Amino acid sequence: MKAILKNVLPVCAGTVLGSLSLAASAFDILPDRAPAPADNPTTPAKVSLGKQLYFDQRLSVNGTVSCNSCHSVMANGTDNRPVSVGVFDKRGGRSAPTVWNAAFLSVQFWDGRAASLEDQAKGPILAGVEMGMPSEAAVVERLKQIPGYVSQFQAVFGGEDALTYDNVARAIAAFERTLITPNAAVDRFLKGDKSALSASAQRGMKLVEKIGCTSCHTGPNYAGPAGLPVGQGFFQKFPVYPSKYDKQYDLKSDKGRYEVTHDDADKHLWRVPTWRNVALTAPYFHNGSVQTLDEAVRVMAKSQLDVSLSDAEVADIVAFLNGLSGEFPEITLPRLPETPNVTLLKK
Amino acid sequence: MKAILKNVLPVCAGTVLGSLSLAASAFDILPDRAPAPADNPTTPAKVSLGKQLYFDQRLSVNGTVSCNSCHSVMANGTDNRPVSVGVFDKRGGRSAPTVWNAAFLSVQFWDGRAASLEDQAKGPILAGVEMGMPSEAAVVERLKQIPGYVSQFQAVFGGEDALTYDNVARAIAAFERTLITPNAAVDRFLKGDKSALSASAQRGMKLVEKIGCTSCHTGPNYAGPAGLPVGQGFFQKFPVYPSKYDKQYDLKSDKGRYEVTHDDADKHLWRVPTWRNVALTAPYFHNGSVQTLDEAVRVMAKSQLDVSLSDAEVADIVAFLNGLSGEFPEITLPRLPETPNVTLLKK
C-alpha cells in the first residue's frame, strides 16, 4: 500500500477531501434510489415533467437540440462523440459525461462547477455552443406559450409563479435522479454471486485495487469515496506523471478546474469520472481524445500511477470495468405538450 | 355541388386518380392497423428493431441526427420548424411531414417520389442536408460494427446477408406502420358520439365539405380518396388560383412534383397532405412558410377554391381540424445497442 499512497496522496492536494476517510472497501453497490435535496423532493409528477423537458428540443434556441441529444438515455447517457454538437453545428471543448447515475456524483461538469444536478441543468440550455437560448427569461417566456407546461408547473410547484427557470432545472434534476443502472455484474458479485464475474474480470478487480485506481474510483459510483456529500467535490489532478500521452491526446491544454477558479492549485484538477457504464461511454477523457477503453486504461495507469500495464493486465481491467455496465430501466417516451395551431419556432 | 366541381376538377389534371371513384362520404374513420406490403410483414421483433434504428443518431454521418430528430414521435411527428436542420447545420427546402399515420399516405415525400415507407426511409439517411451518410455501404458497414444490430437483423430477416440497406428501410417502415393516432374527436363523432365535436367544429365539418376542401382531403387520412392503393399517388396542383399569398409565402418557387419528373404537367403538383393532427404540425405548406393554422386555412380556401372565408368560418374550420388530433399510443424508449469499449464516431 505504501507505493500506492506515494502515488496517490500528492494528487489530493487541492481537493476538498478534507477530513473524509476513504471507505473500508474499495468496491460498493449502487443504491436503488438517489438522494434528493430537501428543497426538491422527487415526486412522480415532477419526474414526468422533467422527462418532457429533458427530451424537448424547444429548450434550444432553434428547436434542434434537447438534453437527450447529447446525453441519450436510450443509449449510455452520452453521444459517444469526442465533443458534442450544439445548435448551429457549434462544438464545445469537452466530452459529454453520462447522465446515468450522475445523481451520485459529488459535483457536476468535468470541472465540478455545479454543486448539484439542479445547478448543472441551468448551464447547457443557455450555453451558446449547446442549446443557445439567449437568457433564462427567454426560456421561461417560450415555455409559458405551451399550455401543457403551464398547467404542469402549476400542479407540481404551485404558487403564483410556478414556471421559473429554477423550477425548470428542479424538474429536470428530479428526472435525472431516476436514471440509475443497478445490478451490474460487479454489484451482483459483491452481493455474493461469485459467478457474476469471469476469472479475468476478478483478476482485474484485484488489480485496480492493487495498483491504486480505487484510491479515487471508489464509492457506489466509483467516482469518489462513499458518503461524500453531494456538492462536496472530489477532484484529482490529471495527468500526474508526464508521459508520451500528454501530447498524443492533448491532455494538458485544458486546465480543468483552474478554468473556473483561476487558482493555480486547481490547474489540471478534474472531478473524478464514474466507472459505472464506462465500457459504454467511449470516447474517453475530458476531451474525448481516446477512442477505446483499453487505451484509456493504459493512459490512466501511466499518467496517474506511473504503471505500465501488460496487455493481459489491460484485458483484465477492461473485463472488470465491463462488469460495471448496469441494467437500464425501461422508460416510456414522454408526450411533449403541444402548441395547437401555431409553432414557436420561426426560423 | 357544381360550383365545387368547377373548382376542383381542373386541378385533377396530371394526377393519377384515374378510374378511382371518390368515397361516398367525405369523412372516414382511421383504421387501427396499417396494411403492410407482402414482402415486409409487420412483426413485433421487426418493429422493435425499426424503433431502435429510428431513434439511433449513429445513422447519421457524425452521430447527431436520427429520424426522430426531425420527425419526433414524442411530439407530433415533426419538428415544428419551417425546414429541418440536418448534419453540420444544413437545411433542406421543405418542411418535415409528420410520421404519424404516414402509413396511410398514398405516396411519401411532398413530391411523392417514394411509393412506400420502405422507399422513403432510404432517402434522408443518405441526403447530404439531412443525415449525410456517404453511401448505403457506409451505413451497413457502420451497423455491422454494432453487435446488437447484427444479431437482431439475423433474427428478424434471416439468410446469409441479413444486414442490408433494404432491410434497414424495411425495419424502419415496420415501426412507422405502428405510428397511428386513433380515436380523434372526429372519429368518435363519426362513430356516433355527437358530443365529441363542438357546435363550431360541426359547422366547420359541414363547411369543408360545402366549399370543396374534402374533394381532396378525404379518406381515412384526409389526404386522398379511401381505397387508394399505397404507392398510387394522389396529387393536386397548389396554388390553383393566383393570389397575394403566392408572393407573401413564396408558394411557387418550388415546382413540386416537377422537380422529380421534369414533366410540365407536374408543375406545382403536390401529394395531398394529411389533415390528421394538422393542428399540431405547424408551420404549414411545403416550405413551412405559414405559422398558424388559421392563416393556412385562409390561404388554402383562396388558392385552391377561390373562396374568401370570414373570420368566423376560419374559426369553425380550425375547430373541426383540431378534432382530427388523435390519441398517441404509449411507446417505450428503445435501448440502443452498444459498442462496448469503443466508439464508432471519431470526429
Residues of B in contact with A80 (CB under 8 A): 58, 63, 339, 343-345
Residue B13 contacts A, CB cutoff 8 Å? no
Mean per-residue pLDDT for B126-137?
Answer: 97
Q: Is B334 on the interface with A (CB under 8 A)?
A: yes
Based on the fold, state whether residues A306 and A189 are members of the same structural domain: yes
Which residues 258-287 of chain B have a CB within 8 Å of chain A?
279-280, 282-283
Please indicate whether, in this complex, the C-beta atoms of B292 and A342 are within 8 angstroms of each other: yes
pLDDT at A26: 80
Please say if the pLDDT value at position B336 is more than 70: yes
- Tell if the CB–CB gap between B345 and A82 is shorter than 8 Å: yes
pLDDT at position A241: 98
3-state secondary structure B97-156: CCCCCHHHCCCECCCCCECCHHHHHHHHHHCCCCCCCCCHHHHHHHHCCCHHHHHHHHHH
If one counts the domains in chain A, the total is 2
* Chain B residues lying within 8 Å of A331, measured CB to CB: 332-333
Which pLDDT value is given to residue A13? 31
Contact B341 A292 (CB under 8 A): yes
B292 has a pLDDT exceeding 90: yes
B333/A333 Cβ within 8 A: yes
Taking the model in full, what pTM does it have? 0.92
Residue positions of B annotated with a catalytic role: 130
Is B172 in the same domain as B78?
yes
Instruction: Establish if B164 belongs to a structural domain.
Output: yes
ipTM for this prediction: 0.91
Which residue in chain A is spatially nearest to B75 when comparing CA positions? A336
pLDDT for B225: 84
Are residues A194 and A263 both part of a single domain? yes
Domain shared by A127 and A194, yes or no: no
* Separation in Å, CA of A265 to nearest CA in chain B: 32
Q: What is the pLDDT of residue A160?
A: 86
Q: Where in chain A does DSSP place strands (E)?
A: 235-237, 269-271
State pLDDT tens for residues B109-124.
Answer: 999 999 999 999 999 9
Q: Give the end of a domain, one of A176, A198, A213.
A: A176
Contact list in A for residue B73 (CB cut-off 8 A) is: 333
Among A127, A161, A176, give the residue marking a domain's end.
A176
Q: Which residue has the cell 438517489?
A: A34
pLDDT the model gives residue B267: 97
Q: Please tell me whether residues A166 and A211 are part of one structural domain.
A: no
Considering chain B, what percentage of its residues have pLDDT values greater than 70?
93
Considering only CB atoms, which chain B residues are within 8 Å of A69?
57, 64, 69
Partners of B279 on chain A (C-beta within 8 Å) are 340-341
Decide if A147 contacts A271 (C-beta within 8 A): no
Whether residue B23 is found in the same domain as residue B77 = no
Looking at the structure, tell me whether residues B162 and B49 fall in a common domain: yes
Q: CB-based contact (8 Å) between A338 and chain B?
A: yes
pLDDT of the residue at B227: 79
Taking alpha carbons only, the member of B176, B172, B298, B320 closest to residue B244 is B298
Cα–Cα dist B2/B223, whole Å: 22
Q: Which of B198, B332, B343 to mutate to test the interface with A (most CBs of A within 10 A)?
A: B343
Same domain flag for A19 and A109: no
A135 & A105 share domain:
yes
Hunting for cell 429533458 — which residue is that? A54
The chain B residue lying nearest A62, using CA atoms, is: B81
d(CA A195, CA A191): 11
Question: What is the per-residue pLDDT for B185?
Answer: 98
**B69 contacts in chain A (CB < 8 Å):** 57, 64, 69
Q: In Å, how far is B66's CA from the nearest CA of chain A?
A: 10
- Whether the pLDDT of residue B15 is over 70: the answer is no
* Same structural domain, B124 and B63: yes
Shortest Cα–Cα distance, B106 to chain A (Å): 25
**B55, B76, B294 member nearest A338 (Cβ):** B76
Whole-number pLDDT of residue A228 = 79
Domain membership flag for residue A340: no
C-alpha cell at B29: 374513420
pLDDT at A217: 96
What H or E segment, with its residue span, contains residue B237?
strand B235-237
Q: Say yes or no for a CB contact (<8 Å) between A64 and B79.
A: yes
> Which structural domain, as residue segments, surrounds residue B289?
2-30+182-322
Residue A332 lies in a domain: no
- How confident is the model at residue B43, as a pLDDT? 98
Decide if B280 and A340 are in contact by the 8 Å CB cutoff.
yes
A220–chain B nearest CA distance, Å: 21
Q: What CATH number did the domain enclosing B60 receive?
A: 1.10.760.10
C-alpha–C-alpha distance, residues A201 and A223, integer Å: 19
Domain co-membership, A275 together with A160: no
**Length of chain A measured in residues:** 347
Q: Give me the residues of A, 198-257, that contact B with CB < 8 A.
A: none
The verdict on residue B330 lying in a domain is no
β partners of residue A236? A270
Domain boundary among B128, B158, B176: B176
Residues B159 and B201 in one domain: no
* Residue-level pLDDT, tens digit, chain A, 347 residues: 333 333 333 333 333 333 333 445 789 999 999 999 999 999 999 999 999 999 999 999 999 999 999 999 999 999 999 999 999 999 999 999 999 999 999 899 999 999 999 999 999 999 999 999 999 999 999 999 999 999 999 999 998 899 999 999 999 999 999 999 999 999 999 999 999 999 999 999 999 999 999 999 999 999 988 777 777 899 999 999 999 999 999 999 999 999 999 999 999 999 999 999 999 999 999 999 999 999 999 999 999 999 999 999 999 999 999 999 999 999 999 999 999 999 999 87
- Minimal CA–CA distance to B330: which of B172, B180, B173, B170? B180
Stretch 49-78 of chain B: residues touching chain A, C-beta under 8 Å = 55, 57-58, 62-64, 69, 72-76
In angstroms, the CA B29 to CA B189 distance is 10
